[in-house]
Amino acid sequence: MSISILWVDDEIEQLKPLILFLEKKGFKVTPVTNGEDALSLVGKQQIDIIFLDEQMPGMDGITTLGELKTIQPGIPVVMITKSEEEEIMEDAIGGKISDYLIKPVNPNQILLTVKRILDRRRIRDEKSAQSYLRSFNEITMLINEQPEWNDWITIYRRLTNWQLELKSSEEGLQQVLQDQFETANAEFGKFVENEYYDWLRSSRSDRPMLSPDLITEVVMPVIDEGKSTFLFLIDCMRYDQWLVFEQMLAPYFQIETDFYYSILPTATPYSRNAIFSGLYPSQIEKHYPKLWMQSDENETSLNQYEGELLTALFERKKRGIKPKYEKILQTAEGKKISEKIINYTQSDFSAFVINFVDTLVHSRSDSPVLKEIAPDVSAFRELTRTWFAHSSLFQMLKKLSGEDVNIIITTDHGSIRAMRDTKVLGDRDTSTSLRYKYGRHLKCDRNSAIYIDQPADYFLPRGKMNTNYIIAKEDYYFVYPTNYNKFQNKYRDSFQHGGASMEEMILPLARLQPK
C-alpha cells in the first residue's frame, strides 16, 4: 500500500517538482492550498503524513495544526516555515508536530523526513504488536477463567484499547485481535444469559450498576457537591468512540472514565427510559402507563416523555431540584443550545440527549455512500471523530471548560457490527428490530439468542398474551424466512443495537472537571 501525503501550502504550484519527485518514489501526494481544504480531507481519506506551510493567508499553519490535531491527534505533521523564530517553533512543537523544515526545502530533505517518520511508526507498531501478543495470553486466560461482571469490563477495556493501538498494524495481527474479540463476545453472551436474571434480584453490591441506577447513584451525589451539574447522554455511543472524543477533550478537562451496564434490550426505548425514570420498563408501564405505549414501529415514540420521567424521579428522590432536559435531534437545535449553554449554569442540573451517533448508525444501514466512507469499525470510529470535532456538543463542552461546573458524559447503549444472520419465526405483529424482537411464540436458533419466555421476570412489559422476547447474542441479526436473501444482504455489515454484546452493554461513564 502506497504512503499517502497531504501537502498544504498556499504556493503549492511552486512545489510541483517536489511533488513529482515524491510520486516517482511511489508516494501518493494530495496538494491543497489552504487549511480549510486540509481539514475537509482529514478523516475522509487515508492520510499518513501531512506537510504544512506555517505562513498561509487566512487560516495559518499553527491554527490549521491545532484543528488537525483535534480531528486526528495521532497523525504526523511536518511544519514547513520560512522563519527560524523561536516563538514560532515553540508554538509548532507545542502543537505536537513530528518535525519541521526551513524553506527552501530540497527533495532529499523531504524524502529523509518521510522515511524517518515512517521508520519511527514502524518501530512503534512493532513494539505494539509484541506487547499485544504478550497480552493475548493474559486476555485469553481472563476469558476462560469464568470472569465476573467487573472482569468483563477489564476484558472489554483491554480489547478496545488494543483496537485503537493496532489500527495501523498489519492485517494478520488485526485479524488475531478481531478473532479474540469475537471469542470474548461469544463467552460474554453466555455469561449474560446465565447472570442477568439474578442481577435483577440481587443486592446492589452483588451486581453491576444498571441503567435505572445511573441518576441516583452517579448524578445525584455529584449534584450534592453544590456545583451546577451537566449530564450529556450521547445516544448509541460505544467505548471506542468515547476514547477518541476523550482525546479531544483532554486539553480542557480532567477526565475519569468508569463503566456501567445497559439493561436488556440495549435499545433506546428500554435503556434510556430506564435511565431517566430510575425504573425498569415494566415498572414504567405500571406506574406511568400514559408515558409507556409500546410501539415497535417507531422507537422515538417511546422516548417522548423522558423529561417528564426525569422530573418524576427527582420528585421521588430529590425534592427541591427541578431538572432541565433538552433533546438535540438536529444541527440547528444544537447550535441554539450551544449559543446559550452558559445560561444553564444557573440551574442545579441539566440533562442533554445528543442523537447524532444513533442517527449515523441507522443512516449507514441505508446509505451505500456511508458504507463506502465507513466500511469497518475503525473507519466508523473516525467518522464519529470528525463529527465530534465539528459538533455543537464539542463547542458546548469547550465553553463549559471555563466554568466551575461538574460534567458527566455517558450513553444509553452501544452498537455492534452485525455480520451473521439467524432466521426468526413470528407472526405479523412481531416487532421489527434486528437485534431484539418481541411478539407471540417467537422462535429462532437458541444458540444465537437469549430467550425470555416470561417478560415480567425480566422487568419487561408483557404486552399481549403469550408475548416473549428474543435478544441476539454475539454479532447476529434476525431475518425472516420470507425474502430471506434480500434482507440478509441488506442488513449484513450494518451497525445495530438491542442485543447482548460487550459493545452494546458495557458503557463508558465519564466525569469531567474543567482544568
105 vs 302: which has the higher pLDDT: 105
For 368-407, give one letter per residue: b (16+ CB within 10 A) or e: eebbebbeebbebbbbbbbbbbebbbbbbbbbbbeeebbb
Q: What is the pLDDT of residue 89?
A: 60
Q: Which single residue is written with the C-alpha cell 472482569?
A: 151
Residue 97 lies in a domain: yes
Q: Are residues 365 and 454 in the same domain?
A: no
Q: What is the pLDDT of residue 296?
A: 43
- In the numeric block, which cell numbers belong to residue 357? 451517533
Q: Are residues 177 and 257 in the same domain?
A: no
Q: Which residues partner with 248 through β-bridges?
A: none
pLDDT digits (tens, 9 = 90+) for 331-373: 899 999 999 999 999 999 999 999 988 888 888 877 788 888 8
Q: Are residues 179 and 240 in the same domain?
A: no
Residue 112 lies in a domain: no
- Domain interval for residue 8: 4-105
| CA pair distance 450, 376, nearest whole angstrom | 26
Q: Across 80-89, 109-118, 161-170, 404-413, which has the greatest mean pLDDT?
A: 404-413
- The length of the chain in residues reads 515
Q: What CATH code is carried by the domain that includes residue 45?
A: 3.40.50.2300
Please state which of the ranges 76-85, 175-184, 416-425 shows the lowest mean pLDDT.
76-85
Strands 406-410, 506-514: pairing is: antiparallel
Q: Are residues 408 and 470 in the same domain?
A: no
Q: What is the pLDDT of residue 485?
A: 87
- pLDDT score of 311 more than 90: yes
Q: Are residues 187 and 46 in the same domain?
A: no
Q: What is the pLDDT of residue 301?
A: 59
| CA pair distance 107, 316, nearest whole angstrom | 71
Q: Are residues 321 and 411 in the same domain?
A: yes
- In the numeric block, which cell numbers belong to residue 183? 471469542
- pLDDT score of 48 more than 90: no
Counting residues of the chain whose pLDDT is more than 70, the rounded percentage is: 94
Q: Across 48-52, 123-127, 148-152, 492-496, which has the greatest mean pLDDT?
A: 148-152
Cβ atoms of residues 257 and 246 within 8 Å: yes
- Which of 141, 168, 199 marks a domain boundary? 199
| CA pair distance 342, 471, nearest whole angstrom | 42
Q: What is the pLDDT of residue 94?
A: 59
Residue 116 lies in a domain: no
Q: What is the pLDDT of residue 85?
A: 61
Q: Are residues 177 and 225 in the same domain?
A: no
Q: Which residues partner with 438 through β-bridges?
A: 469
**Averaged pLDDT for residues 321-338:** 93
CA atoms within 13 A on the CB side of 299: 21
Average pLDDT value over all residues in the chain: 89
Q: Are residues 230 and 160 in the same domain?
A: no
pLDDT digits (tens, 9 = 90+) for 85-130: 655 566 556 557 888 888 888 998 999 888 888 887 777 777 878 8
Q: What is the pLDDT of residue 224?
A: 93
| CA pair distance 234, 354, nearest whole angstrom | 5
Q: Are residues 343 and 256 in the same domain?
A: yes
| CA pair distance 322, 350, nearest whole angstrom | 9
Q: What is the pLDDT of residue 491?
A: 87
Q: What is the pLDDT of residue 68?
A: 85
Q: What is the pLDDT of residue 45?
A: 79
- In the numeric block, which cell numbers belong to residue 507? 458503557
Q: What is the pLDDT of residue 302?
A: 66
Residue 455 lies in a domain: yes
pLDDT band at 295 (very low <50, low <70, confident <90, very high): very low
Residue 423 lies in a domain: yes
Residue 118 lies in a domain: no
Q: Are residues 226 and 345 in the same domain?
A: yes
Residue 210, amino acid: L
Please state which of the ranges 305-309, 370-374, 458-462, 502-506 shows the lowest mean pLDDT.
370-374
Structural domains in the chain (count):
4
- Which of 105, 139, 165 marks a domain boundary? 105
Q: Are residues 277 and 382 in the same domain?
A: yes
Q: Which residues partner with 230 through β-bridges?
A: 350, 407
Can you say how many angstroms the Cα of residue 344 is from the centroid of all Cα atoms in its chain?
26
Residue 114 lies in a domain: no
- Which of 56, 72, 105 marks a domain boundary? 105
Residue 31 lies in a domain: yes
Q: Are residues 244 and 316 in the same domain?
A: yes
Q: What is the pLDDT of residue 508?
A: 98
pLDDT digits (tens, 9 = 90+) for 189-216: 999 999 999 999 999 999 999 999 999 9
pLDDT band at 55 (very low <50, low <70, confident <90, very high): confident
Please state which of the ranges 139-143, 154-158, 410-414, 459-463 shows the lowest mean pLDDT.
459-463
